[in-house]
A and B are shown apart, each in its own frame.
Chain A
Amino acid sequence: MTLDTFLFYLLSVFHYLFLGYSVLALLSYFFLAYVSLLECKNYLDKNSFINYTNILNSELSPSISIIAPAYNETLNIVENVRSLLSVHYVNFDVIIVNDGSKDDSLEKLIKTYDLEPVNYLLNNKIATKPLRAGVFKSKNPAFEKLIVIDKENGGKADALNVGLNASKSDYVACIDVDCLLVEDALQIMIKPFLEEVNFQVIASGGVIRIANSCTIKNGKLLDINFPDKTIVKLQTLEYLRSFLLGRMAWSRLNGLLVISGAFGIFKKDIALEVGGYDTKTVGEDMEIVVRMRRYMEEQKIPYKVGFIPDPLCWTEAPESYKILISQRNRWTRGTIETLKIHKKIGFNYKYRILGLLSFPYWLFFERLAPIVELLGIIYFIFLVIYIDLITFYVLGFFLAAYLASVIYSLFAIFIEEYTFHQYKKKGEGFKLVLAAFLEPFILHPVTFYAALKGNYDYYFNKKKKWGVMVRKGLGEK
C-alpha cells in the first residue's frame, strides 16, 4: 500500500467518523427534545392537581436545612440571609458556612442578626477543615432558624461538608448564597421526595434562571425582564435549552448526572454515607450526584433523581467575557474530572442507565464535543485550502449545523412559552428568537474557546482551581 492510499483511507475514515458523530449528535439532541416535551406536558398536567399550602401546615413535612457557603460575600450577605430566612416553609433552618472569609462578613452577620457563640455538637462524619470562630446562633427568637458557622478556608465543597455535618434535618438544600430563592421554593422542591413509594428519591435539582436586568427589592423578585446585555441574553437562551430540553429529558429517563450547584436538595443520610462533597475536584456538584447514584446502583436500591422545571432560583450570570470564560473553563474541567473519577461505570451494564446511557452520552457529546469540533474545523480548513470544490460541501455542512442549532434553540423557546412563559412583555419574544440566530456566532465561539482552554488547563496546568468571580450584587441596576 502506498503512502497516498494510506492517507486517503485515513482521511475517509475520519470523514465518515466525523459525519457519523454529527448525525448521532443531531439525532440524540432531537430525541432529548422530544422526551422533554413529553415530560413538560406531564409535569404541567400534574401541576394542576397540586395544592402546596398543605405542606406548610403539616407536622409531617420533612425537615430541610438550607446550606449556603459564603466566601468574601460582605457586599450582599446580610440581604441574602434575610431572603433565605423568609422562605415559606415550616420545618427548616438556614446554615451559613463562612469559609474563612478575609472580609467582615461574619462581623456584619453578628451585628445584624444579634448572634452569639453557642455550644454546638458537630457530627464529624466527614473530615473537614477545622472551625475558626465557631458556631453562632441568634439571641433574637425572630432569627432562631439561622445558624452561622465560621471555619478555616477550605473551598466550597469543604464548606458544604461542614453544613452536612452540622445539619440535624433529613434533607439538605445546597445553594449558592447569592442565589435568589422564590418564597415557595422549598415546598415545590421537596415534592419529589414526598412521592417516593417503592423507590427512594436521593436528590432533586431545579432550573437556574438568570436574574440580570430583573427588579429585585428586599430579596424579592418583583419584575422579570429579558436581559439587556447581549452576552447575558445569549446565556439566558443557553440555560433555557440546557434545562428545559436537556435536563427535563434526562430526568424522565432517570439518567440525570448533574444537579446545579446553585440549587439542589439531597437526602442527608445518603450524602453523608457517600462521604459528602469531594474537595479535590472543581466539579463537585456533578461529582456528588454521580457518586450518590453509583452508591445506590451498587447497593441495588431502587432510586430516582428528581427535577423540577419551575423557575425557583434566580442568579447573576457573568456579564464580562473574561469571567464567562473562567466559569466555562471550570465547568469543563469539572466534567473531565468527574468522568475520570468514575470511569469504572462507563459502559458497565451493572450500572444500568447510569453506565450505559448517561455516561457514554456525557463522554461523547459533552466532554469530547469541543475536541471533535476542533478536529473537524482543522479537517475542513485543510480540505478547503487544498481542494476548492469542497468549499461547496463544507459550506453546506456548516450551514446545516448552524440551522440545526437555531431550530434547537427555537424549540427551547417554544417549550418555555408553552410552560412557564416568564418573558411575557411585548417584544421579548422577538428578542428571544433573535438570540437564537445570534448565539452560534457570538456565544458559542466563546464557550468553545473556554472548553478548549479547560482541556488544556486540565492536562497541563494542574494548579488552577476556581478562578475569578467578581460580585456585582443582585438587583443593583
Chain B
Amino acid sequence: MYKKYKIVIAEDNTLFLTFIKFKLEKEGFELYLAENGKQAIELIEKHNPDLILTDVMMDFISGLEVISYVRNTLKSQTPIIVFSASGQEEIVLKAFHLGANDFIGKPLSPNELVIRIKKLLK
C-alpha cells in the first residue's frame, strides 16, 4: 500500500508557504502548515509527522526552539530540515548543534527540496 508521508512546515512567509504546499502536495505528501513556532509545535504533537520543515528566523518562538522542543522535550528523532535566508550562517550552525538534519538556503528550488526530503525519508 502506498504510504502518505506527513510533513509539518513552519514558515511565516505566506507566499512561500502556499507555493511549497502546492509543490509538495503534488508529490504526494500530506501537509500541515504552521505560521509560527507555537503552531508548529501544536501540529507536531497532534499529527506526529514523518518530517519537519522549519525556517530558522520567525517571530516569537523561533525555528531553533522548535528543533530543541522536538529533540529534547519530545525526544523524537524525526528528520528536520531548516531553511534560512543568506547571512544567517551562525543560526544554521546552532540549528545543527540542536539536532537538525539538513539545511537549504533561500531562495530555494522546490525540486531540490523534494529530493532532499525524499532522501531523508528513506
**Which residues on A are within 8 Å of B, measured CB to CB?**
53, 56-57, 88
Contact = CB atoms under 8 A, between A and B. Distances in A.
Contacts, number: 5
Contacts of B90: 88
5 contacts: A53-B86, A53-B87, A56-B87, A57-B87, A88-B90
Contacts of B87: 53, 56-57
Contacts of B86: 53
A444 B87 CA distance: 46
A317 to B, nearest CB: 29
A56 B86 CA distance: 11
Nearest to B90: A88
Interface in B7-45: none
A53 B86 CA distance: 8
A53 B87 CA distance: 5
A143 to B, nearest CB: 16
A57 B90 CA distance: 11
Interface string B73-110: 00000000000001100100000000000000000000
A56 B91 CA distance: 14
A56 B90 CA distance: 11
Contacts of A53: 86-87
A24 to B, nearest CB: 49
A144 to B, nearest CB: 15
A124 B90 CA distance: 37
Contacts of A56: 87
A88 B87 CA distance: 10
Contacts of A57: 87
A393 B27 CA distance: 85
B105 to A, nearest CB: 12
A130 B109 CA distance: 60
Nearest to A53: B87
B93 to A, nearest CB: 12
Contacts of A88: 90
Closest 3 CB pairs of A and B: A53-B87, A56-B87, A53-B86
A142 to B, nearest CB: 12
B48 to A, nearest CB: 33
B87 to A, nearest CB: 3
Interface string B39-60: 0000000000000000000000
Nearest to B88: A53
A94 to B, nearest CB: 17
A88 to B, nearest CB: 8
A297 to B, nearest CB: 40
A292 B15 CA distance: 52
A111 to B, nearest CB: 24
B65 to A, nearest CB: 14
A57 B86 CA distance: 10
Nearest to A55: B87
A53 B90 CA distance: 12
B68 to A, nearest CB: 16
A52 to B, nearest CB: 8
A109 to B, nearest CB: 24
A212 to B, nearest CB: 25
A343 B69 CA distance: 64
Nearest to A52: B87
A57 B89 CA distance: 10
A205 B93 CA distance: 33
A77 B90 CA distance: 25
B80 to A, nearest CB: 24
A88 B91 CA distance: 11
B89 to A, nearest CB: 8
Nearest to A54: B87
B86 to A, nearest CB: 6
Nearest to A88: B90
A88 B86 CA distance: 14
A57 B88 CA distance: 10
A333 B86 CA distance: 49
B58 to A, nearest CB: 16
A53 B88 CA distance: 9
A88 B89 CA distance: 11
Nearest to B86: A53
Nearest to B85: A53
A88 B88 CA distance: 10
